[in-house]
Amino acid sequence: MGAKLSGSGGGKYAVEANSEINVTPFVDVMLVLLIIFMVAAPMAAVTVKVNLPPAVAKPSTNPPKPVYISIQAGGTIYIGDTNVELADIGDTLRSTIGQRNPEKERIFIRADKDVLYGDFMGVMNMLQDNGFYSVALIGEDKN
């Protein structure tokens, strides 16, 4: 913040605050940055010409659509958006994944924080009984 030494009132040596913005230092810094980038930009470019061979890597396949099991606080079970009974989880999952191998299929489980442990373990046991061994548990990210 600048100060005015001369002005109206207050005597010869009264100091007042100057509320005008001084843009000169800002312009100086911007010009220095512009010069630095103008000098550094050509150094970042590759100027050596190379005849590259074609890539022979197979295009990656899209991963299959993930399967989510949701368990509400009252024990209601959903596969995706479909309400299912505990005994029907295996058949519904098999129809959902189609021809994919159940032993290699990852099932994502979302459960309400108030779900009873017995309800959760019932779903886990039913998954294992039907050959679904890869399970991922989903929690809320607090970040």
Choice among 42-51, 106-115, 118-127 with the minimum mean pLDDT: 42-51
Percent of the chain having pLDDT more than 90? 34
For residue 115, the SS3 value is coil
E strand segments, the chain: 2-4, 16-18, 67-71, 77-79, 82-84, 106-111, 134-138
Q: Tell me the average pLDDT across 10-34.
A: 82
Q: Tell me the average pLDDT across 93-104.
A: 85
